[in-house]
Amino acid sequence: MIIKIINQSSNPNPTYATIGSSGMDIRANLSNQIILQPLERILIPTGLFLEIPNGYEAQIRPRSGLAIKQGLTCLNTPGTIDADYRGEIKIILINLSKEQQTIQHGDRIAQMVFMKIEQVQLTTVEIINETTRGEGGFGHSGIQ
């Protein structure tokens, strides 16, 4: 599949780090470094604009290395970029560490995964089929 991209940053286009990678690394597009205090969140511009085909979405996910090494992760994860969105991709980062963290221009701050989606049609009914689980919710399965 081909996705059209406009890259208004000085960073390279997002790429897969390895042949088996699911996500493409996305970089910060900053004129000045950002210092993120503990528990502070911020919207980071990327300079990227996409034309995603109907029937697909882009998901924004955290980078595991950034999370474990610096305590930085994405909020609203996974973030969804809809096929009809044409604005700049921006990443919501939060600092979950106990120290301030510095974000520089060009830092890899998130990853982007493209997924095929299907829109469904909902129909109102009075009864839905029962299952063994039933109404058991959070932690109900007992699997640890």
Q: How confident is the model at residue 139, as a pLDDT? A: 67
Contact 107, 27 (CB under 8 A): yes
15 three-state secondary structure:
strand
Query: Considering all CA atoms of the chain, what is the largest pairwise distance in Å, rounded to the nearest integer?
Result: 57
- Confidence band (pLDDT; 50, 70, 90) for 69? very high
Residue 141 scores a pLDDT above 70: no
Encode pLDDT of 73-95 as tens digits.
Answer: 999 999 999 999 999 999 999 99
> What pLDDT sits at residue 39?
97
In the numeric block, which tokens belong to residue 17?
A: 């780090």
CA 87/CA 50 separation, integer angstroms: 8
Residue 99: CB partners within 8 Å, gap ≥ 6?
38, 71
d(CA 38, CA 46): 22
Both tokens of residue 82?
Answer: 């809809």
DSSP-derived letter for residue 68 is H
pLDDT reading at 140 higher than 90: no
pTM reported for the whole predicted model: 0.88
The CA-based angle 133-137-142, given to 5 degrees, is 70
pLDDT of residue 136: 75
Beta-ladder partners of 7: 48
Q: Where are the domains of the chain?
A: 8-116
CATH number of this structure's domain 8-116, picked from the four choices 3.40.50.1100, 2.70.40.10, 3.40.50.10890, 3.30.450.20? 2.70.40.10
Question: Tens digits of per-residue pLDDT, 7-51?
Answer: 999 999 999 999 999 999 999 999 999 999 999 999 999 999 999
